[in-house]
Amino acid sequence: MTDADSPWLIVGLGNPGPEYAGHRHNVGFMVADLLAERMRGRFKAHKARAQVVEGRIGPPGPGSRRVVIAKPMSFMNLSGGPVTALRDFYKVPVDRVVAVHDELDIDYGVLRLKLGGGDNGHNGLKSITKSLGPDYHRVRFGIGRPPGRMQVADFVLKDFSSTERKELDYFVDRAADAVESLVTDGLERAQSTYNG
């Protein structure tokens, strides 16, 4: 299989289990769920300790791209293991791996797409970078900083506020659009459209 035939691996980061489902830290899972829904796919368990959906993104025909959408079923700080196993299984070049994750240093709902870079203290990215190196794409979903003296760990492991939830569906929808644009149009075009 050549690189041209390789699928893209889109990884929504989060923590497994219903008690984490609505947390800020799980916004990557929310985007992955919406992308799977758009492809009319259902997540299935994969031996790499992940839930995966295989399908295509983009217009029908030669413009569409093969994708594997994944939700690691390890906890956030162990995401690198499942991501590396999936990368090896599907023979995905590192520059076709996309991590969708929450980002504290960006205002709520703002998106930033980039290739490579540091982990900015994000344990999911830290784990993936340790396994793959830093040269994968990131779709960073802004969640803002914790209010007052709230600890970061407490903030990311809480549900979105009622005010935030009013706009959450819109922002998740926009993040899914950004992922699709990244895969079909390339990073620069996606950045010019979606970077806040």
Indicate which residues carry an active-site annotation.
25
- The dihedrals phi and psi of 127, each to the nearest 5 degrees, come to -65, -45
Q: Give me the amino acid identity at 75.
A: F
- Alpha helices by DSSP H, listed for the chain, are 27-38, 80-90, 123-132, 152-156, 162-185, 187-194
Instruction: Report which of 48, 82, 52, 50 is spatially closest to residue 66, judged by C-alpha positions.
Output: 52
Report the distance separating Cα 21 and Cα 17, nearest Å.
Answer: 7
User: Are 70 and 86 within 8 A, CB to CB?
Assistant: yes
Q: Measuring CA to CA, how many Å separate 123 from each of 54, 80, 128, 177? A: 26, 10, 9, 25
